[in-house]
Amino acid sequence: MNRYLFRSLVAVLTFLLSIAVSAIIHPFGSRRWEHRYSNYAYHERHCPRAMAFARPALSIDAVATDPVKLLYSETRPQPYSSQQQITFLLDIQTTEPVSAVVVQHSSRWPEKDRWEVESVRVPYDPTRDAPPTVSLDCGSDQTLWVWISSIEFKDGARWINPRHSGEQAF
């Protein structure tokens, strides 16, 4: 009878010892694999794969006293092209009625050493609900510099940007 009691006691002690060792040492590393898998699954759910694109280097020349400000809105890649479309909002800061805004932008490609200046005339219609926008196309490796060249008012007056009076406007 003592032999059966001793074997039972050894079996129970071996079982308890194996539980204690597995809780402390993790001999098969099963918890680590589960943890890695859960992290991987977590990142896949919350970080969907999407095509990333680089926004071009951008500089907007504006001063608080300008009657109209340019505000960056968004950058969208063009389908099947390396070009991107950058959209700006025109924020009218003056109480005088505006008829049109001339926005100039200069871009430089890395392989070229010269700047190319282009102008865009944006007519302003105050009856529209949406704010006026300007969209420019450029490459992701271009450097883009944007400013308001001039503003035409309804009464015929014209504001010319004093910081860029040498550039040609419409």
Q: Cα(122)–Cα(89) distance, rounded to whole angstroms?
A: 11
Has residue 155 got a pLDDT over 80? Answer: yes
Domain annotation covers residue 52: no
pLDDT, tens digit (0-9, with 9 covering 90-100), for 106-129 = 877 656 666 677 888 888 887 888
In a domain, 116, yes or no: yes
Task: Assess if residue 126 is contained within a domain.
Answer: yes
Whether residue 51 is contained in a domain is answered as no
CATH number reported for the structural domain that contains residue 137 in this entry: 2.60.40
Q: How far apart are alpha carbons 153 and 51 in whole angstroms? A: 43
Residue 149's closest CA among 160, 138, 157, 140?
160
Tokens of 164: 């860029």
Residue 135 in domain: yes
3-state secondary structure 22-38: HHHHCCCCHHHHHHHHH
Whose CA is closest to 58, among 162, 168, 139? 139
Residue 154 has a pLDDT of 92
Q: Kindly tell me the number of DSSP H helices and DSSP E strands found in the chain.
A: 2, 8
**What percentage of the chain exceeds 70 in pLDDT?**
72
Mean of all residue pLDDT scores within the chain: 76
Looking at the structure of the chain, the number of domains it has is: 2
Residues 6+ apart with CB under 8 A from 106: 115, 116, 117, 118, 144, 145
Q: Which domain holds residue 145?
A: 57-162
pLDDT of 148 above 70: yes
Could you tell me if 108 and 148 are in contact, meaning their C-beta atoms sit under 8 angstroms apart?
A: no
CA dist 132 and 136 (Å) reads 14
pLDDT of 3 strictly over 90: no
Are 140 and 113 members of one domain? yes
Domain membership of residue 170 (yes or no) is no
Query: Does any domain span residue 168?
Result: no
Per DSSP bridges, beta strands 158-160 and 143-153 are antiparallel
CB 132 within 8 A of CB 101: yes
Q: Are residues 89 and 31 part of one domain?
A: no
Residue 100 has a pLDDT of: 92
pTM: 0.60
Domain match, 41 and 119 both: no
In a domain, 139, yes or no: yes
- Tell whether 16 and 90 lie within a shared domain: no
Name 85's Cβ contacts closer than 8 Å, sequence gap at least 6: 75, 76, 77, 78, 135, 136, 137
10-55 pLDDT, tens digit each: 898 898 888 877 777 655 544 444 434 433 333 344 445 555 556 6
